[in-house]
Structure 1
Amino acid sequence: MNVRGDGKVKPSETVKLLKDSTRCMVIINADCYSALNTRKKLIIDNHIDPTRELKFIDLLFTFPKHTKHSTIWFHRKWIILRIQQHFSSNDISQWQYEINITRRVAELYPKNYYAWTYRHWILLNIKTDSVQSKSFFVDELKIMKIWVQTNISDYSGFQHLQRCLIRIGQYYDNSFSDFYGISRRDILNKININTQLQNRDLKKNSRSDSIVSLWYKEIQFTKDLILRYPGHESLWYHLRFLSFGWIWLKLSGYLNNSIEYSFNEIDENNNSINSITKKWPELENELEFSRYCINLVNQERSERMVIQKQNALAFELWISELKKKRY
């Protein structure tokens, strides 16, 4: 932005006027594209310090209504990308600060789609090649497991938890798939290929064991939540994601029918005493869990239990269709 005076106003005064006026405009309306684009140009021309601009956005986020505007989140992402060259992608302190911002915003608006999307983006920008990264992902997973227990119907929260699982898996194995890019057709095709190859490429090492353990414990945790909080569709969709991932683990050679893992300890956050949640998540056992939930509904006809039955039947149908392929 070339700032020139008009003969009466000095360029420095024009810059100050632009900075002050756009700041006021954004405070009043965080969706003001013109004001935010002007501030971007001022940042490019070094008239605004990008780190100070982040502090300004922090201030905006103290107004709950501003946290729901996509434009302000895009503006923040643009600034981070601009200054990212000054800190490593593994500078956990910088990313942790950004996570803390999204956490505070989520408390103001638990189902804030844009805040959660930004939080997903942070995970994707942290490399998986260091112990610090693993520690960050594990801590974030622990935080999310606490979050979903108090926000059972928050689909965005569960989606972020799923992304934490994927990133931890990618730390253990950089070829670990991002399941968000995999469709049911991919699964069915892989089942057919897997039947022909008969699981010849079995991945058996401590890192693959860690991935299987991570997934197994998360399935336990989710089933326990389903039993404790019946009638929440979000939990069943999360279980479907986990079952989908489990099938992919098997088809990718992380485990097969000849392998039996034994975990004597369950997740520290999972206090379930119900053995139905601890069964090895083969398709037969997944169907058994679904039918177990349906039988519980038949004993109690409350509204939430009726919804629980509908969700269990939908899950059973989904599992049954995969089971026909005999992977």
Structure 2
Amino acid sequence: MADQPRVDDAGESPLAELELILESDPLIDEVGFIHPTQLASLSEEGVDAPPGPKNLRFWSRDRKLGISTEVVLPLYKEAKRAFFDAVRDYKTRRGSCGDGGGDGGIGSDVMKHSKALLLVSSDFGTAWNSRKLVASKKECFSMYMDELRLSELILSHSPKCEQAWSHRRWVIKRIAGQTSSLLEIVMKESELVEQIAERLKMNYRAWNHRCWLVSYMTREQVLDELKKSKTWASLHVADSSSFNYRRRLMTMILEDLCCKDGVASHDCSFEVYQLWKDELNWDEILINRYIGREALWLYRRFLSLCWIRHFTTHADSMSWNSNYIAEQTTEASVFLDKELDLVGSCLVVQDAHFDDFQAQALYSTTYILWLAKQMSKPLEIELRQKLTARNMNNLLREFCPNSSFLCGSSAEDTEVTRAAQGQK
């Protein structure tokens, strides 16, 4: 446990008091803003808390920092003033010495005051940029790790702070060629995102950061992330960001398959094929389990589009065994039948009093109409024919009456059938 710092020497300045606390315990990992009455009760519990009124402004114990809401405004004003003074001195020193700050004393003032400023104003872009400037002049790995710790501390109370997430990406880019532990850092970043996403749902910025990390992962890490994130996505089916992350992982796997010298081995190709098939089945299970969740249908669009483009229409360009070639000849028809079975079950509104069933029917309708537009003409004709054979056109018109795909007359439907028969 970190000892509570003695702040009597800091005087009455809230900035000096805060900076003394931060300097005494550089491993603080969480910060929060607390009402003065709550802060007083916390201070009474801490045996190491110093006496006097100053302990009503800050509280620090067990790597946690509490800041009184009453001191935020004066602290911000003082930190801002001290920060800009330090920046001016730093630029003057750089101009006169031409070495990025000489002995680093002025640069350390910029880092110290900007840290305090960012704790109370996390979106202060100038402070973030100044830290980038000083860190880039030092090119010190330990300083970059300090930047990761600081941004993580700020994210503990401002998890949607875009500046903090952007700063982390900047740091990772800087250290990418300096350390052999980059892969370990990337995996810790991924775990951090999941922890923050668990505390605050629908955090697009956090998930966007996690998607960005995929480009630094190895194939084994991508597969591991795909496996680990499956449980989380299953429990948060309304959070489309988690499915966007899985989309990024799946895309990375597919790119790795298609871009290896333009030739993919049979084992690798079949592995990706099976992975995609399992993902489609898993998504169907979730759709049937959680009624009316749009994120699941949007994710299915991605999976289906890749399936059509890479595992049906272009399958003859890949190296498959003879058994799989025979299976592939009917793969498109089997895929359409499965999708129509899914959509048909979703079009049955079991209880009109619940909006979820109506939403499920609408999402399934727009999905199958969207899917038709992505197919080649022969497959589109086949889809029309299957819809007519299943008597699904009227049901689809009920939920999407203005669709041009469903507005044809019976004569046009007959013509489509004839065209399909002619192709056979």
Query: Could you state the TM-score of these two structures normalised by the residue count of structure 2?
Result: 0.58
Q: Cα offset for 1:108? A: 2.2
Q: Structure 2: any 5+ residue segments left out of the alignment?
A: 1-89, 95-101, 380-424
Q: Hey, what does 1:72 align to over in structure 2?
A: 164
Residue 33 (structure 1) aligned with residue 125 (structure 2): yes
Q: Larger relative contact order (C-alpha < 8 A, sep ≥ 6)?
A: 1
Specify the alignment match of 1:55 in structure 2. 149
Offset at residue 239 of structure 1 (A): 0.9
Instruction: Name the counterpart of 1:316.
Output: 368
Counting only pairs closer than 5 Å after superposition, residues 98-117 of structure 1 correspond to structure 2 as: 98-117=189-208
Residue 16 of structure 1 and its aligned partner are, at CA, apart by: 3.4
Which residue does the alignment assign to 1:239? 300
1:152 to 1:16, Cα distance in 2 relative to 1, 3 A: same
Question: CA contact under 8 A between 1:26 and 1:32: conserved in structure 2?
Answer: yes
What is the SS of the residue equivalent to 1:149? helix
Q: Deviations over 1:98-149 (max 9, x none)?
A: 11121222122221111111111110123xxxxxx23211221122211111
Q: Distance in 2 between matches of 1:205 and 1:156?
A: 33
Paired with 2:186 and 2:209, the residues of 1 have a C-alpha distance of 11
Alignment of 1:288-307 (within 5 A): 288-295=341-348, 297=349, 299-301=350-352, 302-307=354-359
1:1-327 alignment runs, 5 A limit: 2=91, 4=93, 13-46=105-138, 49-63=143-157, 66-87=158-179, 91-126=182-217, 133-174=218-259, 205-249=266-310, 250-253=312-315, 254=318, 258-260=325-327, 282-295=335-348, 297=349, 299-301=350-352, 302-323=354-375, 325-327=377-379
Determine the C-alpha separation between the residues in 1 that align with 2:93 and 2:268: 61
For 1:230 and 1:175, how far apart are their aligned partners in 2?
Answer: 40
Residue-pair matches, total? 272
Match of 1:273 in 2: none
User: Structure 1 regions of 5+ residues with no counterpart?
Assistant: 127-132, 178-200, 262-278
Instruction: Report the TM-score when normalising by structure 1.
Output: 0.74
Tell me if structure 2 keeps the 8 A contact 1:152–1:234.
Answer: yes
SS in 1 for 2:176: helix
1:305 to 1:260, Cα distance in 2 relative to 1, 3 A: same
**Matching residue of 1:194:** none
Contact 2:202–2:241 at 8 Å: present in 1 too? Answer: yes
> Which moves more between the two structures, 114-123 or 247-256?
247-256
1:111–1:154: 8 Å Cα contact kept in structure 2?
yes
Contact 1:293 1:309 in 2 (8 A): yes
Larger-gyration structure (1/2): 2
Q: Quick check: 1:54–1:76 contact (8 Å CA) kept in 2?
A: yes
Alpha carbons of 1:213 and 1:325: their partners in 2 closer, same or farther (altered >3 Å)?
same
Q: Which amino acid aligns with 1:31?
A: D
Please say which of residues 240-249 and 94-103 is displaced more in the overlay: 94-103
Tell me the secondary structure at the aligned position of residue 260 of structure 1.
helix
The more displaced of 305-314 and 79-88 is 79-88
Percent sequence identity is 25
Q: Does the 8 A contact of 2:165 with 2:209 survive in 1?
A: yes
Aligned mates of 1:4, 1:95 — CA distance in 2 = 36
CA separation of 1:319 and 1:18: change in aligned 2, threshold 3 A? closer
Q: Residues of 1 paired with 2:133 and 2:271: CA distance?
A: 47
